[in-house]
Every structure is written in structure tokens, then in C-alpha cells.
Chains A and B, each alone.
Chain A
Amino acid sequence: MKILLLEDDPEIGEWVRDGLTHSGHVIDWLKDGREALVAATSTAYDLLILDRMTPGLDGLSVLRAIRAAKSSVPVLLLTALGDIDDRVEGLHAGADDYLPKPFAFSELDARVAALGRRNADLSSADETTLVAGDIQLDLLKQRCLRQGKPIDLNPKEFRLLEAFIRSNGRVLTRTMLLEKVWDMHFDPTTSVVETHVSRLRAKIEKPFGDAVIRTRRGAGYVFEPKI
């Protein structure tokens, strides 16, 4: 993907640029908000990563200007630690995702991948049935079948599996799952995600003797159904 990065801190900027380049993306790194706005409106990017506090023009104003110009390019907003209202404000201004600093690179990498995919296939948004290999999810009746056999899932487990299927083989981090499934935007120090993933595995893997959800150490989970 071709990504515009607006970040004035040289160390963080370099780290993000090198990391995303390593993941196979092409990065344009700018340190000034005005330059970023000019670049974003004159070049076609697949994703913008904007830091909130930047010289010249802050990231939120760049985002507002881009959205005012009717551009629908996905935007990931980076912000300082602990600003709970910033998330609401950022999403309200038209950000697609939001990541508070400091973050693990794996978290950024996973979110960048998810946003790129979202841009690619908006068409599947109003499906009523999701299919991944031999797993079938009926979103209207909230029913799950594997190899034709019904699997009894509680609502949270159902939403967890839905998130996995929609991830299309990309990494889902613990934080992303907390946001998608539980709508929790804080870090519960307890193992909410781990517990539910292991319960889901017990229902969807154990009776069939295989593994569809893989734990990727230090990053999160990957859903790999058998085709």
C-alpha cells in the first residue's frame, strides 16, 4: 500500500516508516501538517497515518480538511496517551481508526492491514451469511454451522467468530478484539480476550480435531480456516 505518514517526532517517524516498509508498504513521511495536506490532496494514497499534534497544522485539522474535500481515504489517527475524549473527537472528525501512543509496532501493523482491506472490499458490508472454509455464520439468525453441524455459541462468542471471519486472514490484536467485540476502549488487566478465545476454540476446534485460530506470539490472533 502507498501510505502517507504525518509524524513530527524523528524517532517515532523513522521507526514507523522502517517497520511499515519492512511489511511491504511504500511510505511518504512528512513532518509538517500543511505539507501533509497538500500531499494528501494531490497524490492518491491507500491510507493516511496522522499524528494529532504536529507543527504547521495539527493532524485533526488535516483530517477535517481532507474530509471536507469529500475524500474517503482511510485515516488512522495517532494520539497522546490517556486522552479518552480524543478517540470520540477523532472518530467524529472522520478518522477510521485511532491508536494511542505509545503502541507496539505489531498493533500498528495489524491496524494498517485491516484499514487497507476495508478500503478494498466495501461491497461485502451488508451480507447476511459469512462463509470461511467449512464454517458458516448466519448473521440474521445468529447461528453457526461447521461441516453442517450446528455449534452453540453465546452472543460474545458469535461476535468474536464474526470478527475472525471478517479479518480475512489478517492479524487481530487483543486491543482490536476488545474494541470490535466488547466495545471496550480501555485495557482490562484481566484476560477477557484470552478466556473467550479459548472457549471459542473449545467449541469450534476441539470436536473437529484441528486448529483454525492461531495465536501469534506478541502480536495477536490469526484466523486460518481450511479451504
Chain B
Amino acid sequence: MSLNRKFDLIAVLRMSALRQAVTMTLAFVLIVLVAGGIAISAFERETQRRIEDSLQSRFAEVRADIERLGFDPARYPDAKNERIEFRPGPSDIVAGIHNSLDINWWFWTRDSTSSAEGSDPEGLEDWIYLAGPAKDGQLIVATELRRQDDFLQIMLETMGLVGLGAALSALFLGLYLGTRTQRRINAISRGLTDFGAGDLSARVGGPARHDDLGDLSRQLDTTLDQLDALIRQSRDFASNIAHDLKTPLSRLRIRLDRALMASEEESDSATAIEAAIAQTEQINAIFDAFLRIAKLEARTARASFSPVDLGQLADEIFETYRYVVEASGRTLTLEKSNPEIVSGDRVLLSQAMANLLENAIRHTPNGTQIWLLAHGRSIGVADAGQGIPTEEFEHVTQPLYRLERSRTTEGVGLGLSLVKTIANLHGAKLLFSECPQLPINAGLCVQIEMPQPVE
């Protein structure tokens, strides 16, 4: 639905701008009609009153003349818009103003050559008359209303013209402004449609105007950026899972095949079956880590936070891992300086430390020195191993990312990713460096720096 591409009647009719303009114009016309109706009826009433006033004063004037001089018809010829009649003697015509279309003008004697009944004279429908006693009879004064109708006609035409002009300009102005808005709405709609159709680089864009539509466009673009990142991440995630499950799954198959062959040859199949079970545990561990990460990322765990003494946590981890590290042929040293008490999830923080220590053991040669660090609000692990290239720092926290040289070593490749997720959950920074605090100034140092407490 675009104005710019090609003319399409249905699309144009669906434009909200057009609908708006038409609705507003119709409302405007209705208002003009109602206002005109009110004005005309007020005008009519006022004119009627004026005519009746002038009829009254003319009546009074004529009656005064008759009282003084007697009735002389010659003095009151039939004028274009006035008739005067005097009937001596008593009368059965009711005194007062009469304004009836079906009136019987029988009393009109003058020029009346027809029957005594005096039927309806031509062209008297628009007249009104005033009857009343004068001297020894009854005086009737009549006047025409047609002047008033002419005036009304002119007024109606004027109002109609003005109304039509105003309505048309409202329609065109509305269409013009509406089309401009519509074009921006179309751009938004196009951006969203393209994104929905799979073009993840599509954005709403548009001029950076500071109005509601501009704000909306920017908000939509921010949302699309986030969606883009999420979609890419889960795509990578899925393909990485598939990739990393291939190895253990094919090993599992091989081992089960061996077990089957061994049992067919009636030799010992238990070793091969045990090896197969070990592979299923590896597969399990991959899924478990993924699910933990997904669950943690979906969680807003602030509620489960409690005070954690980083020094105490480091002591406990040191106690647990000291001999594990030594048994692996490396050494573990505890380095503490003013450890603080932070707000966090103790279980998750110790899991993060466990993962860092396991990485340090797995990816360093025998005899390497490893440090467990607790400095202020930071806790971490450093090693004097060969380290990693600094340009890899931002990649190592991605799920299943492994440096090329460590592809050959065992491991799930989710350890750092889980550490990153745990750090994020705490609003903490995950810092990689080449151990600047330690005398060795080499190897790799990974630290979780907890945020400053909020007041």
C-alpha cells in the first residue's frame, strides 16, 4: 500500500488521511447546514415581527384618517404591496393579524366583479392582513410578504457558496496534510513489512523530525535493532548447538556399534557401553548448560539476591578447588585485598568462579600457576598460561565459541558464556585482561566487577 509506487484505488480508499479529510469535510458541511438553518429561522422570525409592526402602524395611520375624514377609497388605491379596505357596519371578521394560506378573501369587495362570495383572488397567497374596528365599521389593511422571501433567497445562496468554498478548502488542505503524514506512515509500514519478510537490515528510518511520528520511528528502529540482535544470536545459537552435538552424537553411535559387535562376538561389551554412557552425559551437559543460560537470561533475579561476602566466597572456593588444581599438576593461590560485601546470588557466583577455574585448568599446560582473586567488589581467576589474543576477548563469551587451538580439547564451550550471563544478571562487568595486577603480566585474567550499590 504505497502512494509512490502505482495508483491503486483500493489502496487510496484505505488511506487514513483521505478518510480523515472526508470525514472532517462532511462534519464541516453538517455544521454549516445547522448554523444556516438556525440563522434563517431567526431571520424569518425577526422579519415577520418587523412586517407586523409596520402593518400595525399603517393600520393606526389609516384609522386616524378615517375617523377624521371618513373612508375614501380613492385615497387608498391598490398598491403593489398594499391593499386597504373599509367595511361599514358590524362585521364577522375576527379582529387581529391573520396569516393563513387558505384564507377566504370574500370580504375583498373592491374590483370584485365575481360572485358575492368573492372567491380566492389570484396572487394573494403571500399576503397577511390586519383587521380591526374603525369609526362605525371595520378596517382591513393587507401587505405582501414577498420582499422577505427575496431576501432569504439571497442569504441562502451566499451561505451556500461560502459553505461550499470552505468545505472544499478543508478537503484539499486535509488531503495535503494527510498525504504528507501518510507518506511517513507508509515508510514505517514498509520498514516493518520488509523486516517481517526476513530482511533483518530493514529499518523505518525517515527524517529526524521531533514530533510523535519521528519518536515512533526512532523507537521502532531501536526495537528492530534489538530484535535483529536477538534473532541473529538465536540463529547462531541453534547452528552452534547442532554443530557441537554432532561430535558427541557420532561418537555415541560408534561406541554403541562397538558394543553391539562385541556382544555378537560374545566378547566384553561393558567397556563400550560405559563409553557410550559417558558420551550421553556429555550431550546432556551441553543441553543443561544451554537451558541454564536461557533460563538465566529470561530471569529477573533481583528478588533472590542477598548479601554475599566476596572474601568468604573466595575462601570457600579456594578450599574446594585448591587440591583439585594441585591434583591436576598446577598450583592455586588466593589473592585477597579488601573484599567487600555485595548483593548477589551466592550459588550463581560460585558457579561462575567454578567455571572460570575449570577453564584455567583445562586450557593451561601442566605446572601453570593459577590465582583466585578477590579485590574490592571484583572476584575472578587469573592464570600464567599462554593467554588468548586480545582481539578474541569479545568473542570468547559467545556460546560455544572456542579458540581454534582449543577445539581439540574436551569441553562444552559454554563455560564463559554462562559466566557472562551470570555477570549480566548481576549488572556486573566481565573484564578480560593480561593480569596487570600480578607480577607475571601475562596469561589471562577474567574478573567479575560487581556494580556499585544503589542507594
Contact = CB atoms under 8 A, between A and B. Distances in A.
A187 B288 contact: yes
Contact of A189 (B292, B323, B358): B358
The interface centre, meaning the residue of B285, B292, B299, B320 with most chain A CB atoms within 10 A of its CB, is B320
Contact of A155 (B284, B296, B319, B411): B319
Interface residues of A, number: 26
The interface centre, meaning the residue of A154, A189, A198 with most chain B CB atoms within 10 A of its CB, is A189
Given A82-B295, A190-B324, A184 B358 contact: no
Interface in B274-298: 274, 277, 280, 284-285, 287-288, 290-292, 295-296
Interface string A183-217: 11111111110011011000000000000000000
B342 interface: no
Contacts of B357: 190
A87 B106 CA distance: 111
B354 interface: yes
Interface in A166-191: 182-191
A85 interface: yes
A24 interface: no
Contacts of A196: 323
Given A189-B285, A189-B411, A218-B274, A182 B320 contact: yes
Contacts of B321: 190, 192
Interface string B291-326: 110011001000000000000000000011101100
A156 interface: yes
B294 to A, nearest CB: 8
A81 B287 CA distance: 8
B323 A195 contact: yes
Contact of A191 (B287, B299, B327): B327
A81 B288 CA distance: 6
Dominant secondary structure at the A interface: loop
A102 B284 contact: yes
A184 B320 CA distance: 11
B433 interface: no
Contact of A195 (B324, B351, B411): B324
Interface in B128-173: none
The interface centre, meaning the residue of B280, B288, B357, B412 with most chain A CB atoms within 10 A of its CB, is B288
Contacts of B287: 81-82
Given A82-B292, A82-B295, A199 B323 contact: yes
A7 to B, nearest CB: 19
A11 interface: no
B291 A81 contact: yes
A83 interface: yes
Nearest to B277: A104
A82 B319 contact: no
A190 B319 contact: no
Contacts of B358: 188-190
A191 B324 contact: yes
B347 interface: yes
B361 interface: yes
A12 interface: no
A104 B284 CA distance: 12
A155 B323 CA distance: 13
B288 A83 contact: no
Contacts of A104: 277
A164 B296 CA distance: 34
A153 to B, nearest CB: 12
A95 B277 CA distance: 29
B358 to A, nearest CB: 5
Contact of B354 (A156, A188, A198, A199): A188
Given A189-B285, A190-B358, A218-B274, A156 B320 contact: yes
Nearest to A185: B347
B364 interface: no
A188 B347 CA distance: 13
A217 B350 CA distance: 29
A156 B351 CA distance: 18
A169 B285 CA distance: 30
A91 interface: no
Contacts of B291: 81-83
Contacts of A188: 354, 358
B285 A187 contact: yes
A85 B296 CA distance: 10
Interface in B170-202: none
Interface string A79-96: 001111100000000000
Given A84-B296, A186-B354, A190-B358, 4 more contacts: A82-B290, A187-B288, A190-B324, A190-B357
Interface of B: 274, 277, 280, 284-285, 287-288, 290-292, 295-296, 299, 319-321, 323-324, 327-328, 347, 350-351, 354, 357-358, 361, 411-412
8 contacts: A81-B288, A154-B319, A156-B319, A182-B320, A184-B354, A191-B324, A191-B327, A192-B324
Top-9 shortest CB links A-B: A82-B291, A195-B324, A195-B327, A195-B323, A82-B288, A188-B354, A190-B358, A190-B324, A186-B351
Interface of A: 81-85, 102, 104, 154-156, 182-192, 195-196, 198-199, 218
